[in-house]
Chain A
Amino acid sequence: MESQIAEHTAQLPQVGEPRNPGMELDLDWALGVEANTSAIERRCATLPGRRSVKKDYQAAWLLKAITLIDLTTLSGDDTAGRVRRLCAKARQPVRADLLKALDMGPITTGAVCVYHDMIETAVSALDGSGIPVAAVSTGFPGGLSPFHLRLAEIEESVKASAKEIDIVISRRHVLSGNWQALYDEMKAFREACGDAHVKAILATGELGTLRNVARASLICMMAGADFIKTSTGKESVNATLPVSLVMIRAIRDYHERTGYRVGYKPAGGISKAKDALVYLSLMKDELGDRWLQPDLFRFGASSLLGDIERQLEHHVTGAYSAGYRHALA
């Protein structure tokens, strides 16, 4: 039983790795970062042509991708029933016969991600599975509620047994160049999280430039973020490859300088198995294999799983699959 817990909780970053303690704000570093948009776009545009995984490798990579998914529901009409259904899917994301055909043991998604009010339901539905519950917080998605309430929201969610807190940063601090304020805010959020690990949502679609994304990424890591995450899924532009490249290069620099590994979570807009494979290649090539595990990489996605299931069935049977052959989330 103990070993089972260890296996499951390995999804949390602080287990396999020393947790990023943060550091003093180093503005020289953060503001010295450059991000050349055209060059970054070129790298991203050519990556899918440079990397390809086929056959068994593709199946294995897709299974890996499933274990990296933060299966998410963040809707105003979420109910306990809906969340329980999602949790059930998190426990059994792939049809057993497909896993058997691939000679794979059981797998689960990386986490389940919900609003605060759904934590309790999710925690009880996932009891014994080892799957952590992540809660979006701090006035998600806008992050504009009173600061003390945002801190209190984190504390409430931690109290309700959320193991991961996805906070949103104040975009206005970035847009107005108030880097100290961004650092202080993130630091306060991190402290409020206590042992729960904190994912900093940058809402990159609202930061205006890739340079701002790079700076905000570094500053959030300096303030102790365990993960940096692209988006809430509610912005008009969510995770993109160029934004991801900028953020993971920031993670690489942070690791080179401090020795601490920070995780990465692209969220929103990743709905195809093929996209997931490209993201995995990007992580593998730019950061290394260590970042292909759930403690350092997650997909924030809701419809991605369905497409992966269809691709896996195709791999097993050779016939293209249909959505209704796989269990609904």
Chain B
Amino acid sequence: MTVKEIFETMDYGPAPESAADALAWLVDQGARFGHFINGEFTSPADGFDSKNPANGETLATLSQASQDDVDGAVAAARKAQGKWAALGGAGRARYIYAIARLMQKHARLFAVLETLDNGKPIRESRDIDVPLAQRHFYYHAGMAQLMESELPDREALGVCGQIIPWNFPLLMLAWKVAPAIAMGNTVVLKPAEYTSLTALLFADICRQAGLPKGVVNIVTGDGAVGEMIVNADVDKIAFTGSTAVGRKIREATAGSGKALTLELGGKSPYIVFDDADIDSAIEGLVDAIWFNQGQVCCAGSRLLVQEGIADRFHDKLRARMDKLRVGNPLDKCIDVGAIVDPVQLNTISEMVAANTAGKVHQARVDMPEGGCFYPPTLVEGLAPSDALMQEEIFGPVLVSTTFRTPGEAVELANNTRYGLAATVWTENVNLALDIAPKLVAGVVWVNATNLFDAAAGFGGTRESGFGREGGWEGLSAYTKPKTKTKPLEKLIGFAGEGAPVDAVDRTAKLYIGGKQARPDGGYSKAVYGKSGALLGHVGLGNRKDVRNAVEAAAGAKSWSKTTGHLRAQILYYIGENLSARAAEFADRIDAMTGKKSGADEVEASIQRLFTAAAWADKYDGQAHGVPIRGVALAMKEAVGVIGAVCADEAPLLGLVSVMAPAMAMGNRVVLAASETYPLAATDFYQVLDTSDVPAGVVNILTGSHAELAAPMASHLNLDAVWSFSSTDLSAEIEKASAGNLKRTWVNNATAMDWSTDQTRRFLEAGTEVKNIWIPYGE
């Protein structure tokens, strides 16, 4: 078109970012890549092509890692780890700072390469992915610097295997690598096979930064390589990707003792109340579901609009969609780029095609010819029962429904197996701050969406995974407490044939929903003392008792909403009542264990109750310093309902040490008492009964740990399961927990030192950090 013609039409023309430098870099590398192991690139081997999804052209040939490659990478990481950790935080900070600087110096090369490889608009890689990746390295250089002073009791995990997805190749690398190496770990990272190029450029940056050999190792390949890493001799697996694969990894690592964090899928609600700034809420949707072609785990993909404004909102939304520009990702004037691969494009197309419900609007925009493109799509008027309302599409497809009241909005929002992110639009601060804590999600954005920063943790609940990346809360994913572990042997109780010690028979029952309950199975077992005297009988709980206990705990929801002050008062009261019966409990413990430690154990238990009470109103969240005019409130929320298999060796202290901090944080618990010495726990429910503990908050089961742990671990309405049993149930529990990806804490057959106060660990495990982003300004 001539200038004169454009003057009339006022069209946007092409505004391509040059690919020349990035393509030249690829040529310089021979357009064939090996792996980055022990500070060097290996020779390219057989593998696969990495393609530009916008035009199908091959960018480079990558190597498929073999078992030897993975072993070599892990060995290099293992060898480097001790020295890297010993270098100290300040020493590590310098390298990480250098990496951040170098990434900044090569920012445009990273951005263009990312767009070529992934298909995301250059605006996004240039203005969002690459700056955020740098920011993570800067931020964690600071965390390395502060580690010794601020985390004196924590140390590195060791070697971390990290597997990242294709939707934010460099950014996910940064989220994984920066905190890991800051805390003194070394890593073996596998980028997604569609998008490995920026990881390889990053490897080159590590070399330029003089990073010690073996600290960062990068191997390329498909899911088979991921499996090799999961099964390798690593101390931790960090995975970002689909819930299906996350579940497999949970099963594969079960019982291995490997730490695990998973950042998985989502179907995040995007709630618009009738008092919202509607135009801004619509613009927010562009950043929610048409950001990165909707291939974003936390994409606001489920629109919930208040009924009164729904028609107008959807009209405006359709008009906005028709203004989106879809096209060449390297064009600086487009909004929506290419879908990462024909396979993904196919998945999206098929899911939308299979839907027959609602009203579909596809943006009336010029679509590029050829390449992997899908038009921005809205499916309006769906019901929660429609598949597209529940299933993650991972494409530029928004689904919507309406609600009547704030309560209904929360109900609809939480009607999902996922719990990654949520967005709330309202001009009413009361409403926003009321709704945000009620949404089941790791991140909530108020009047904004898809805000990220290294200072604020990101991660999910439910089947969106566990662990946080970013912020202080993210560091626990790459550190462990400095404790020496001792093996824990299976503890066998005494046998006997003696006469009962009680003159009148006492019947210990299960304690469910604030009531004593006979075991469903109708079986009991005898408990004998050292001399063979019969101390009493306890019921053998079974899966139905677990079911009943979880139901009671689930029903005691209001406990989580009580104030810390109230929970403290009740915990103190339990301590007070236990103290009044201290001698009796001490005798009981001594009778069961045949030792003289009962008095100390009771005293320590009272201390744990007081400590938990003390923390109940003091385990504060944080206001993170994120780079916006606003705050990110890191709120510590109760995990929910926790099932815990309690220690055998410390019949009262083991139970109280778990129960008290969990209660203090607002959790409800289902406790399997010491299998060997169960009578302290059954005595204890009488203390609970007299201490104003609301029904269902604490439930106590007795019986075989193995029998009770299995239905707990697989129960889909339990949010976490812990085991400190002397029966090593770690593998079974972790494997079965994959069903709803509940949080697990198992002892891997190692002993806890119950005599030292470890309340903080329980507080941490009993809470999840929810980051609520609240931009402000009038």
Contacts and interface: CB of A to CB of B under 8 A. Distances in A.
Interface of A: 34-43, 46, 49-57, 59-61, 63-64, 102-105, 209-211, 249, 280-281, 284-285, 289, 292
Nearest to B7: A60
B291 to A, nearest CB: 11
A209 B277 CA distance: 14
B280 interface: yes
Contacts of B776: 38
A57 B6 contact: yes
B447 A39 contact: yes
B13 A38 contact: no
14 contacts: A37-B778, A39-B775, A42-B775, A52-B15, A53-B12, A53-B15, A56-B1, A57-B13, A60-B6, A60-B7, A60-B10, A102-B4, A104-B3, A210-B778
A38 B777 contact: yes
Residue with the greatest number of chain A CB neighbours at <10 A, chosen from B9, B123, B279, B628: B279
Contacts of B43: none
Contact of A104 (B4, B126, B283): B4
Interface string B302-340: 000000000000000000000100000000110100000
A50 B3 contact: no
B13 A209 contact: no
B448 A38 contact: yes
Contacts of A38: 447-448, 628-630, 775-777
A262 to B, nearest CB: 17
B448 A39 contact: yes
Contacts of A103: 2-4
Interface string B428-446: 0000000000000000000
A54 B280 contact: no
Contacts of A41: 777
Interface residues of B, number: 41
A249 B335 contact: no
Majority SS at the chain B contact face = loop
Interface of B: 1-7, 9-15, 123, 126-127, 275-281, 283-284, 323, 332-333, 335, 425, 427, 447-448, 628-630, 775-778
Contact of A37 (B2, B278, B284, B777): B777
Contacts of A105: 4
A289 to B, nearest CB: 6
Nearest to B5: A60
Contacts of A102: 3-4
B13 A34 contact: no
Contact of A35 (B5, B127, B277): B277
A36 B333 CA distance: 26
B6 A56 contact: yes
Given A38-B775, A60-B3, A102-B3, A284 B10 contact: yes
Contacts, number: 105
A103 B427 CA distance: 51
A164 B5 CA distance: 29
Contact of A289 (B10, B123, B280, B427): B10
A49 B126 CA distance: 9
A253 to B, nearest CB: 8
Contact of A49 (B127, B425, B448, B778): B127
Given A38-B448, A39-B283, A43-B283, A63 B333 contact: no
Given A34-B275, A64-B7, A280-B10, A52 B332 contact: yes
A104 B3 CA distance: 7
A50 B13 contact: no
Contact of B778 (A50, A53, A209, A249): A209
B277 A57 contact: no
Contacts of A211: 778
B448 A57 contact: no
A37 B277 CA distance: 9
A216 B778 CA distance: 16
A62 to B, nearest CB: 10
B280 A39 contact: yes
A54 B2 contact: no
A280 B12 CA distance: 11
A49 B130 CA distance: 14
A98 to B, nearest CB: 11
Given A39-B283, A49-B127, A63 B3 contact: yes
A57 B778 CA distance: 37
B10 to A, nearest CB: 5
A44 to B, nearest CB: 10
